[in-house]
Amino acid sequence: YVKSDGGVLEGPGYWHYTFLNAMATVYILARYRGQSLDDYASESLVKTGAFELGMLSTVGGGNYLWPMNDWHRNAIHPDLAAAYASMTGEQKWKKIYSMSSMSDAIKPSYFSFIIAPDDAGDYDTAVEDGFRFYPFVGHVDRIAADDDIGPIHFHFVAGPAYSGHYNCDKGSFILEAGEETLAIDRGVTNYSHPETNLLKRSGRHNLLQPEPEGIALPNQLSMCDPGASVTRADLTDGRLSIECDVRGAWADGVFATNTRSVTSEDPRKYTITDVATFDKATAVSFRINTNFPISIDEKSATIEGEHSALVITPVNWEPGEITAEEEGIDGDENPVQLLR
């Protein structure tokens, strides 16, 4: 379940569900063997906790997870944070425990009181500036401080998909600035909701979407290995570089080739380059999903956040049209604007 980079393919949500249910048992086994939790814990158990810290959103105070794959935008449960704080001594886990245990939305169980840390941690927030790359699961994360608007957070999603709690999001990205999410992942609703399967589709992620004439929009494969392969991800002298071969996330015949690269020398500016070829002429759309209003002029579009804005400008190509309209909901049933 835990891969070599510490990540899990189902993403932060089902990681949370899995280890929230597992850590009490781990604690009981440690006590049974007369060991402390940190002595009993395996290397992979500690390492995968670091992966979850890399999946924190900058929106919500620093204890909320990305709503990607089959997950909602929820805070980390205090029981889980208490267990990892006890096991690792990590100040960021202590801070998350302190924040989550005071939330009205989540209440700790008796397990928290048994294992909880004595102090709240010496961090203002558990979200940390820096660069993180998880090569097996295909996640790339970069947070950069900005004196004017606060943290700017760019997260890239790729990797394989096995049978389980996955969305068709390989090659997609999320962008936060000013503690609000400008380019979102919709997450998922309750499984009984009629829009659940629609939220999973590639057309509702921030992707290059093929639009063949006369047929339904193609969807990425629900099972693919290696899927979308990140062939390069680094941050050198302040320059972010990501290169990804997305072709393997689609069925044969959708693309002949499909790559996406991201470069950024300034956290306020990202250049996304999609290179695609087809066996026959096919229309494509560059898509971004947001909860904020979108304004359009002749050559660009702007997502108007409350504290920040995202300006999207085509470079070296001219779109046939630029549209922005409400299309469906996100996992919290808020309306979503689709820029296309």
Segment 168-181 mean pLDDT = 95
Q: Place 161 in a pLDDT band, splitting at 50, 70 and 90.
A: confident
Does 124 score more than 80 pLDDT?
A: no
Q: Which two tokens stand for residue 80?
A: 């889980």
What pLDDT sits at residue 49?
Answer: 93
Please give the C-alpha separations between residue 126 and each of 60, 123, 160, 196, in angstroms, as whole numbers: 11, 6, 28, 31
Q: How many CB atoms lie within 10 A of CB 293?
A: 11
Does 271 score more than 90 pLDDT?
A: yes
What pLDDT sits at residue 214?
Answer: 87
Beta-bridge partner residues of 325: 338
Q: ∠ at Cα 238 (236, 240), nearest 5°? A: 70
What tens digit of pLDDT does each residue of 85-101 get? Answer: 999 988 889 989 888 88
Non-local (6+) Cβ contacts of 247 within 8 A are 255, 257, 258, 259
Q: Place 120 in a pLDDT band, splitting at 50, 70 and 90.
A: low
Non-local (6+) Cβ contacts of 243 within 8 A are 230, 231, 232, 233, 259, 260, 261
Q: Which two tokens stand for residue 96?
A: 């998350």
Higher pLDDT, 246 or 214: 246
What pLDDT sits at residue 61?
Answer: 83
Does 107 score more than 80 pLDDT?
A: no
Percent of the chain residues topping a pLDDT of 70: 98
What pLDDT sits at residue 294?
Answer: 98
**What CA–CA distance (Å, rounded) separates 217 from 202?**
9
Q: Place 127 in a pLDDT band, splitting at 50, 70 and 90.
A: confident
**What CA–CA distance (Å, rounded) separates 157 from 260?**
11
Segment 140-162 mean pLDDT = 93
DSSP codes of every residue in 33-97: TT--HHHH--HHHHHHHHHHHTTB-SSSSS-BB---SS--S-BPPHHHHHHHHHHH--HHHHHHH
Q: What share of the chain is helix, strand, coil (3-state, %, to 5)?
A: 20, 30, 45
Does 10 score more than 90 pLDDT?
A: no
Q: Place 162 in a pLDDT band, splitting at 50, 70 and 90.
A: confident
Range name among 14-28, 123-137, 143-157 with the lowest pLDDT average? 123-137
CA-closest candidate to residue 220, choices 193, 190, 264, 255: 255
What rounded mean pLDDT belongs to the chain? 91
What pLDDT sits at residue 122?
Answer: 63
Segment 170-187 mean pLDDT = 95
**What CA–CA distance (Å, rounded) separates 252 from 229?**
16
**What CA–CA distance (Å, rounded) separates 310 from 294?**
9
What tens digit of pLDDT does each residue of 47-104 get? Answer: 999 999 999 999 988 888 888 887 778 889 999 999 999 999 888 899 898 888 887 7
Does 163 score more than 70 pLDDT?
A: no
Segment 206-222 mean pLDDT = 93
DSSP codes of every residue in 1-17: ---TTS--TTHHHHHHH
What pLDDT sits at residue 290?
Answer: 98
Segment 161-174 mean pLDDT = 88
